Structure formats: structure tokens, C-alpha cells
Amino acid sequence: MSAQQFSTFAPSDAKGGQVLSPQNVAVIAIEFQNEFAAANGKLYPAVSGVMASTDMLRKAVEVCERVRAAGGSVIHAPITFKPDASDNPNKGLGILAGCAKDSLFTENTWASEFVESMRPVAGDKIVAGKKGLDAFPNTNLEELLREVGAETVVLMGFLTNCCVESTMRTACEKGFNVITITDGCATTSPEGQKGATEGTFGMFSLPMTAEDFCAKLPAAKAA
């Protein structure tokens, strides 16, 4: 593989800490799927408490709407598996073992579909190939980010301390300006949510609330 496949920005060009340029902002919305976010999803009982405490679905919708209006991009990163979990990259270990055991996010089922309020709209992009926790490996995410000219990535979704955090770390290593929306993601416990949003997020990104982030965007794209 060429070096370019491993790094988006050279050290001299890394975008971390730069002032937001709305047209170069891309939201990465991670796993806003029925399995997590809808009342009948298998994982909904595990995350619904944190979801309710932060009102994360409503805030995620607002962030996406504001970014689109300002001229930025929204990229959805779902995860899916074959019914026999043969494409699960680590089905004997950790959280991916649970996905295989409990038949989670099975492709072409209601569970793997986007939750209604966060369905892609015209102009949005959808990541293909996400089977693991980090949204970058073995997917077209980096290609999509290049396509839309993204310099700042804004992360939201499930789980706060798993897929969101994994993707955050890689985005930081690749030289993106990384923002994590602390009340736009959810996990299985208040303790896990706090540990990530008030701890590790600040090591690899600029954590902020949806309200604070939206305040940095213009109301609409300039004519």
C-alpha cells in the first residue's frame, strides 16, 4: 500500500485546531440504526438511558441540518453483518463477539436500517464496508472525506466509548481537525459516557456540545 492510504494530511498540513470553515466540515454520523436507536432494537434498552439524558437524537438531527445549511457534508457510517457473521472481523473477541452471538445489525433487515429521524437525505454520503469499530479500516470513509474536501470532522453516534472513540483516534492521527459532540452520542452507562466525553475525547479531539458547535456555524450557506 502507498503511504497516502495511511495518512490524509502531511504533518505540515494537519488541520487540528483550525478555525471552522463550514464548507470543509463533514459530520460522521456513526451507527444511527434501528438496532441502537429505535425502541424495538436489541441494543436500545442498553443505550436508551444515556440517549434520554442528553436528548442525543434530536441534537444529532439539529447538527446535521445546520451543517448541511452551512454548506458542509453529512456522512453516515452504518455497520452491517451477514446472517452467519462470516464477515465479522473479530467475532470471537469483545463487542464484536457479542454482535455475532446475538445476530446484531444483520444486513437487509429492519435492525440495520437507519433510524427514521437520521435517515440520509439528498446529498448525504454513506460509508460502505464498516464491519469493525473504527469507521476507517476497510471502508471508503477516507475516500468520501476527500471527495467532499473535508478538513474538520464532527463525530456523533454509538457507542460513545467504542466506535465513536475509535474513529476519533484515527481521524486525529490522520491530521483532521476533530470535533466530538458530547451530547450527540450515547453508550451503555452514564459512567462510560462521562469517562469518554470528559476524559479521552479531549486527548484526540475538541469536545463540545451540539449547541456550542451549532453556534459556530452560519445559519445558511452564503449565496
Nearest to 88, CA basis, from 109, 104, 75: 104
pTM for this one? 0.95
Q: What integer pLDDT is reported at residue 7 of this predicted model?
A: 82
- Banded model confidence at residue 221, pLDDT cuts 50, 70, 90: low
User: In which residue are the cell numbers 445558511 written?
Assistant: 220
Work out whether the CA dihedral 140, 77, 136, 139 comes out positive or negative: negative
Beta strand ranges found along 31-72 (DSSP E): none
132-175 pLDDT, tens digit each: 999 999 999 999 999 999 999 999 999 999 999 999 999 999 99
Q: Is the pLDDT of residue 94 over 80?
A: yes
Which CATH class name applies to 22-215? alpha beta
d(CA 93, CA 90) in angstroms, rounded, equals: 6
> Whole-angstrom distance between the N-terminal and C-terminal Cα of the chain?
41
What grid cell was written down for 84?
452467519
Domain ranges of the chain: 22-215
- Banded model confidence at residue 3, pLDDT cuts 50, 70, 90: very low
Strand order in the sheet with 152-158: 125-126, 73-77, 25-30, 152-158, 177-186, 206-208
Contact 117, 57 (CB under 8 A): yes
What grid cell was written down for 113?
436500517
Q: Is the pLDDT of residue 1 over 80?
A: no
